[in-house]
Structure 1
Amino acid sequence: METTYVHGYSADEARRLNDQADTLANLLHAGTSYPPGSRVLEIGCGVGAQTAHLVASSPGARLVAIDRSAESLETARRRMPGVEWHQADVFDMPFADEEFDHVFVCFVLEHLRDPSGALAALRRVLKPGGTITVIEGDHASAFFHPDSELARATIAHQIRLQAVAGGNALLGRQLYPLLREAEFEHVAVEPICVYADESRPDLVKGFTRNTFIALFEAAGDEAVAAGLTGRGEWQQGITDLRRIAQPGGTLHYTFFKALATKGNSP
């Protein structure tokens, strides 16, 4: 099934993904490690931003990573030659049934037209008793100071732009029902809140400025071309968003991390 990565594959987007992964690693990857010898599948690995942290936390695991972009995979391969890389789509994976002990999915389902179908495909390649870990964000969970109507409108325009591309920037809140619909068992979803202010300069730089605001800065041309907003309105919204990364600014955002198991039934 055709999918669209609304953020594109530019060098700036690769840097944003790496900033996001490195800044949030202690939060998003806490408690996620796989035993030596286990076979682990990561889908939508991109440039390997999250893969690097999986390698660090599970040095004895056998990691297999797939992505649709050959260019992204080449970047990831140069970075981590010990991982098994495949150019593939989650809906057409070159793997046998029940081939993996664990599956890891981070910031992927939000870009798919059929996240339920993707989870069903992943259940097929997972062994009975194996686990799936899914991490997704939810743009509507963001609130900040100084507040701004135009900044909030900019976020709303990006949410609509992603919907037009076939994705869902609010998918984090849906992880539990999606996993249950795909017949996973023992589903547990944990909200992971990120809060940044000037007392946490690393988070302000790595998350507020280089991850969160950068995402919206990159979407301006597409949002205007799609008729969602005017150039002036978008630019003012971005200007207002940038104030939350300045002294006195704050940002709160919630990610959702789900862990579930494949039962023994077919």
Structure 2
Amino acid sequence: MNTATTPSGPVPVVDYVHGYSQREGRRLGDQADTLAQLLHTGTAYPAGSRVLELGCGIGAQTVHLLRSSPGAHIVAVDRSEESLAQASTRVAGLAPEAQVEWHRADVFDLPFADAEFDHAFVCFVLEHLPDPRRALAGLRRVLRPGGTITVIEGDHGSVFFHPDSTYARAAIDCQIHFQAAAGGNALLGRQLQPLLAGAGYDDVAVRPLTVYTDRTRPALVDGFTRNTFIAMVASVRDKALAAALATTAEWDRGIADLLRTAHGGTFHYTFFKALAVNPPAAPAASPRHM
């Protein structure tokens, strides 16, 4: 059963650098399905636990959360009403018996009670926020003491490939530039440990999750190199040309060289997955007696 809840009052929608097109929805779905085993292995929540998924988007990751934790109660939050509608439809089609609540809300103003959740799951969200540390600190209020948070982010600085190309790297730099201009950070993965520790979490453990593709891994070449990463970079073409960050010839050469890595070349990218614990509240100081 899927239920939808919208808090009262207007909720602004972020300037999501990749846009909200049908093509982007397909890209997100391809990305989630291709990387499900890599990203979700080891993440399973007990039956009956309440799990907050922050920034659920079109539900691409929600589906995999439900598959790995069928007895958990997922509460999914996003700022975009359009994305939430797509997420609800997606989950209803793939997991019709799933118990999911959909909330339109701002990550910096969550409409939930203190300590309402046992766990929090945040995937590819912090990279789009102007103040990720503040968002993580705010999550601690709705997460019970001793509850866990799982955060997954990529890092475009981890990309290397063969054959190498300065044009391809320049195209990637354009995507990094526009994400920064929108208030995000495409290099956030490397910062997860200090971000979580600085937001007050304990037992922060981060591990790299590497994607490597070559012609012996055709599913990853199609699902990740071509349909996820290159498609993401290609989506900022018009912005890059309008801002004079590249000429048409330079841009086309950059995308062609990236595609060349999918035809007999190699491609490498690293995601970072963090697990941390919300510590118990410090005991109140005893009053002094005169």
Q: Same fold (TM over 0.5)?
A: yes
Q: Distance in 1 between matches of 2:13 and 2:253?
A: 34
Partner of 1:65: 76
Q: Distance in 2 between matches of 1:136 and 1:225?
A: 29
Q: Distance in 1 between matches of 2:72 and 2:143?
A: 15
Partner of 1:252: 268
Q: Higher Cα Rg: structure 1 or 2?
A: 2
Partner of 1:220: 237
Residue 168 (structure 2) pairs with residue 151 (structure 1): yes
Q: Distance in 2 between matches of 1:61 and 1:88?
A: 21
Q: Distance in 2 between matches of 1:91 and 1:225?
A: 32
Alignment RMSD: 1.2
Aligned residue among 3, 9, 23 for 2:20: 9
Deviates more, 1:216-225 or 1:205-214: 216-225
Q: Distance in 2 between matches of 1:105 and 1:217?
A: 25
Residue pair 1:4, 1:112 contacting (<8 A) in 2 also: no
Q: CA deviation at 1:231?
A: 2.5
Any residues of structure 2 matched to 1:39-78 within 5 Å, and which?
A: 39-78=50-89
Q: Distance in 1 between matches of 2:242 and 2:278?
A: 43
TM-score, reference length from structure 2: 0.89
Residue pair 2:13, 2:79 contacting (<8 A) in 1 also: no
Residue 254 (structure 2) pairs with residue 242 (structure 1): no
Any residues of structure 2 matched to 1:73-84 within 5 Å, and which?
A: 73-81=84-92, 82-84=99-101
Q: CA deviation at 1:3?
A: 3.7
Deviates more, 1:43-52 or 1:74-83: 74-83
Q: CA deviation at 1:123?
A: 1.1
Q: Distance in 2 between matches of 1:108 and 1:225?
A: 27
Q: Deviations over 1:196-233 (max 9, x none)?
A: 00100100010011001000111111222233222221
Q: Deviations over 1:6-33 (max 9, x none)?
A: 0010001001101010001000001000
| 1:50 alignment partner, SS class | helix
Q: CA deviation at 1:5?
A: 1.1
Deviates more, 1:27-36 or 1:90-99: 90-99
| 1:95 alignment partner, SS class | coil
Partner of 1:207: 224
Unaligned 5+ runs, structure 2: 1-11, 93-98, 283-290
Residue pair 2:171, 2:251 contacting (<8 A) in 1 also: yes
Structure 1 outlier segments of 4+, above 4 Å:
none
Partner of 2:3: none
Q: Distance in 2 between matches of 1:134 and 1:152?
A: 27
| 2:60 alignment partner, SS class | coil
Partner of 2:95: none
Q: CA deviation at 1:2?
A: 7.1
Which amino acid in structure 2 is aligned with residue 191 of structure 1?
Answer: P
